[in-house]
Amino acid sequence: MASAAGISAEAGGRIRRGGGLGGAVTVASSCESVPATGAVATGSWGPDSPDVPILLVGGHLDGHDIGDAALDNGSGASCVLALASWLPRAALALTHSVRFVLWDVEEMGLIGSRAFVEAHADLLARIALVLNLDVPCAGRTPV
């Protein structure tokens, strides 16, 4: 994979509106390749038995190359964590098990979500709904 550096269109616009950079810019970087594992973080709340349907709420942790990772997908990961924090305090009488999942290496081939599916093949038939929170707070992409 080739190394790259960049800034978002929004940041470029701010620089342009501010009169530019006013001179040369020097960028130094280094990188190394590491194996992509697609690490998965999970948690659950509510009843859990083989006959209880599952609501899966998730999002990816990694950011896109040369993109605003705070939005794609820091906003989605934050929403998943906020829901996971709120649900136990809400004192709801749940009829479904709610599973919270955050996976990695999505921007490079859906590796984390595929790892989740492979590791939890026994649960797939119970999943009644998947809510994938990918860029829910950017103001440009509907959930």
For residue 5, the number of C-alpha atoms closer than 13 Å in the C-beta half-sphere is 7
Does a cis peptide bond (omega within 30 degrees of 0) precede residue 132? no
Q: Is 141 left (phi over 0), alpha (psi -120 to 50) or beta?
A: beta
Residue type, 106: E
Asked whether the beta carbons of 131 and 59 are under 8 A apart, the reply is no
Active-site option among 32, 106, 107, 118: 106
C-alpha distances in angstroms, 25 versus 9, 20, 31, 101?
Answer: 18, 11, 20, 40
106 flagged as catalytic = yes
Active site members: 106
